[in-house]
Amino acid sequence: MADQNPEKSIFRLQLIAVVIGLLLLLAKFGAYLFTHSNTVLTDALESIINVVAGSFALYSLYISSKPKDYDHPYGHGKVEFISAGFEGVLITLSGILIIGKSIISLFHHKPLEHLDVGIIVVLVSGIVNLILGVMLEKAGDKHQSLIMKADGQHLKSDAYSSAGIFVGLLLIVFTHWEPLDNIVAIIFSFVIMYTGIKLIRKSVAGIMDEADENLMKSIVSHLSLHRKAAWIDIHNLRVIQYGNKLHVDCHVTLPWYFTLEEAHKEIEEIAAIINSEFSVQVEFFIHGDPCIKQSCKICMISDCKVRQEAFEQKVEWNIDNVRLNKKHGL
């Protein structure tokens, strides 16, 4: 059964993630003060980003859930891409800062202490972040929320970093070679930066309305599955995502002799099929085109009284021909 109020559900989950992130932040900085370990500091700085980015994501979820208005006729969902980009920039900057501090610490070394405390805190925080990350990412997939997916991926990345940092701290304990602390911190800073750059890339793609190939294929697949003979072709298909809402516009070629009422009924059926298949709200803008003589060769209406050309071949719909701004033909 669909969630009756998905906006409240994901807002609540994000709020929980921020509160837990704040508690982990305090624990990690406490561990850093005990250990003086830059490896532990790497994890602590990552938690700062978690809290700041998570708080911004929380605010963005509130903005994106606001209804359309005269100033924002497509809604406020684009803020999700800004939120993801902001999080990506913070993650990347934190990686750069950690690298700088670790390089300085290689030449101005401070003895490490109480590494057992650091190991326990890093291990527990890694497990918690992994669980939270999986939950957020699943919620993001379910509700088509880039904010939730971005924050979930970030927390999972933080968990993987914590796992590596945990191993690094164990190596320091067993080898007693303290410069390894800074080397491990630098290595995992690059991992953190990679996650940040990926989020920035995805944010820019969303702001620029880059086509989502998988989403397009899914829509075309569902339309093909329920295809009717009267739908001679679908072309000029475009999909734009605004938060957890999809805006789809396309042209559909229908028999030229259909009345306006009949054409409207077919168009409404196309929109209903897509909305029944997707868990998110899909808003359709469909332009009806009349068929032309060249359409006869691919038209599957067997009892057409005005056919000018014999039927030759069914044209399968695919992502390449549905997004061209031209009627299908042979």
Q: By percentage, how much of the chain surpasses pLDDT 90? A: 23
Where residue 240 sits, what CATH number does that domain have? 3.30.70.1350
Write out the residue range of the structural domain in which residue 81 sits: 6-207
pLDDT at residue 287 in the model: 92
Look at residue 69 and tell me whether its pLDDT is greater than 70. yes
Q: What is the pLDDT of residues 87-141, one digit of tens each?
A: 788 878 877 877 887 787 777 766 777 778 888 888 888 899 899 889 888 887 7
pLDDT band for position 1 (cuts 50, 70, 90): very low
Residues 198 and 283 in one domain: no
Q: What is the pLDDT of residues 159-182, one digit of tens each?
A: 877 777 787 778 888 888 877 777
Q: By percentage, how much of the chain surpasses pLDDT 70? A: 93
Residues 57 and 184 in one domain: yes
Q: What is the pLDDT of residues 208-250, one digit of tens each?
A: 777 678 888 888 999 999 999 999 999 999 988 776 677 889 9
Residues 228 and 185 in one domain: no
Residues 91 and 21 in one domain: yes
Residues 273 and 200 in one domain: no
Assigned domain for 47 exists: yes
Residues 86 and 217 in one domain: no
Residues 279 and 256 in one domain: yes
Residues 49 and 160 in one domain: yes
Residues 57 and 176 in one domain: yes
Assigned domain for 287 exists: yes
Residues 113 and 97 in one domain: yes
What is the tally of structural domains in the chain?
A: 2
Assigned domain for 1 exists: no
Residue after which a domain boundary falls, among 207, 222, 254? 207
Residues 154 and 50 in one domain: yes
Assigned domain for 329 exists: no
Assigned domain for 220 exists: yes
Average pLDDT of the chain, as a whole number: 82
Residue after which a domain boundary falls, among 192, 207, 222? 207
The 3-class secondary structure across the chain, one letter per residue, is CCCCCHHHHHHHHHHHHHHHHHHHHHHHHHHHHHHCCHHHHHHHHHHHHHHHHHHHHHHHHHHHCCCCCCCCCCCCCCHHHHHHHHHHHHHHHHHHHHHHHHHHHHHCCCCCCCHHHHHHHHHHHHHHHHHHHHHHHHHHHHHCCHHHHHHHHHHHHHHHHHHHHHHHHHHHHHHCCCCHHHHHHHHHHHHHHHHHHHHHHHHHHHHCCCCCHHHHHHHHHHHHHCCCCCCCEEEEEEEEEECCEEEEEEEEEECCCCCHHHHHHHHHHHHHHHHHHCCCEEEEEEEEEECCHHHHHHCCCCCCCCCCCCCCCCCCCCHHHHCCCCCCCC
Where residue 20 sits, what CATH number does that domain have? 1.20.1510.10
Is this structure's pTM higher than 0.75? no
